[in-house]
């Protein structure tokens, strides 16, 4: 789990990022993002991905891949919307797609 300061907590903030933010799509997730003064993230996993065990496993995999990359000076509010392929992805695939997304966002 991300530290409280790095989480988008309210539904209003998440809706704002999804509706008015830019997007980066990969086979594993879609990242909606807006520039911000601090980094904050949320993860959305719909019921179509599976039961709560599966959805929480996908969230943990994303957060484990994201945690080492948070030391960079990202200044965004980001919402990750997970896709079905996220369940079968290897840690290397997670890392590669996250690197691509964060490069795109930071430029």
pLDDT in tens, 21-77: 999 999 999 999 999 988 899 999 999 999 999 999 999 999 888 888 887 678 899
The model carries a pTM of 0.90
Domain of 97, CATH number, reads: 3.30.230.10
Question: What integer pLDDT is reported at residue 29 of this predicted model?
Answer: 95
Report the number of distinct structural domains present in the chain: 1
Whole domain around residue 45: which residue ranges? Answer: 4-106
* DSSP structural state of residue 7: B
Please report which confidence band the pLDDT of residue 1 belongs to, taking 50, 70 and 90 as the band edges.
Answer: confident
Residue 62, Cβ density class (10 Å: 0-12 exposed, 13-18 middle, ≥19 buried)? buried
| Alpha carbon distance 107, 97 (integer Å) | 16
């Amino acid at each position: 789990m991300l530290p409280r300061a790095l989480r988008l907590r309210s539904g209003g903030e998440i809706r704002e990022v999804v509706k008015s933010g830019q997007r980066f799509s990969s086979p594993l997730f879609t990242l909606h993002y807006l520039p911000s003064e601090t980094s904050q993230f949320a993860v959305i996993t719909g019921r179509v991905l599976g039961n709560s065990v599966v959805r929480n496993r996908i969230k943990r995999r994303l957060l484990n891949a994201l945690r080492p990359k948070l030391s960079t000076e990202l200044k965004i509010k980001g919402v990750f919307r997970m896709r079905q392929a996220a369940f079968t992805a290897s840690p290397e695939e997670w890392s590669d797609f996250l690197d691509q997304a964060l490069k795109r966002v930071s430029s």
